[in-house]
């Protein structure tokens, strides 16, 4: 996507505050921002059958799902060329919590709820429902974790993983995965019909 198309895409979906957050991430670590742009573009296609407001909310979640990584404490970790150690991964997991807090403070409550669980779908995933439980204790869990928002979290999870696992520039992978490998890896964690539809729409894989 050209710079002008990127700018128009961002302007079309993000409000002033969210746009400022995204541009800050772009300045902090362009590869993470570019990944977020690709996830947003994937969700344009995956969310094609959704209502316009829901589709836009989902795209916003894609653009901002890694916004917590702009915190300075993650700078060296996201720039590390090789695999992270266990302790480093534990630190980096905090980006979901920080992103949730940033978006909640920015008034993007439902978007924050979508990103809060997008790493939770793997067994042993993170933040292991800590953000979810904390939000539920505030008494607004029905709104924030409705079946619709949970389904949107699954779509974000798929888009994030598909881009991450098929991206040839991920330095910690020997080579990008084939769509069949992605299907095998993700199918235990999301409905298979949703995953197959997602791979067909995005990658043309049957």
Q: Say if residue 17 is preceded by a cis peptide, omega within 30 of 0.
A: no
Secondary structure E strands in the chain: none
Domain boundaries, the chain: 3-153
Is residue 81 scored above 50 in pLDDT?
A: yes
Is residue 173 scored above 70 in pLDDT?
A: no
pTM of the predicted model as reported, rounded to 2 decimal places: 0.82
Tens-place pLDDT, residues 36-46 = 999 999 899 88
Tens-place pLDDT, residues 113-130 = 999 887 776 555 555 444
DSSP state at residue 190: S
Q: Say if residue 3 is preceded by a cis peptide, omega within 30 of 0.
A: no
Distance from first CA to last CA of the chain, Å, rounded?
26
> How many other C-beta atoms lie within 10 A of the C-beta of residue 175?
7
């Amino acid at each position: 996507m050209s710079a002008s198309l990127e700018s128009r895409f961002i302007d079309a979906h993000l409000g002033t505050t969210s746009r400022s957050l995204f541009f800050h991430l772009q300045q902090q670590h362009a590869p993470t921002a570019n990944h977020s742009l690709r996830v947003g573009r994937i969700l344009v296609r995956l969310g094609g059958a959704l209502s316009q407001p829901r589709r836009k909310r989902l795209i916003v979640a894609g653009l901002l799902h890694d916004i917590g990584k702009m915190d300075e404490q993650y700078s060296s970790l996201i720039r590390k060329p090789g695999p992270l150690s266990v302790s480093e991964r534990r630190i980096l997991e905090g980006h979901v919590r920080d992103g949730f807090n940033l978006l909640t403070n920015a008034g993007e409550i439902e978007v924050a709820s979508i990103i809060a669980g997008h790493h939770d779908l793997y067994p042993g995933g993170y933040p292991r429902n800590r953000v979810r439980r904390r939000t539920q204790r505030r008494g607004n869990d029905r709104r924030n974790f409705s079946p619709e928002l949970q389904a949107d979290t699954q779509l974000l999870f798929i888009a994030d993983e598909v881009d991450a696992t098929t991206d040839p520039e991920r330095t910690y992978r020997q080579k990008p995965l084939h769509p069949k490998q992605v299907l095998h890896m993700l199918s235990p964690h999301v409905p298979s019909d949703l995953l197959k539809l997602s791979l067909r729409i995005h990658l043309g894989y049957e």
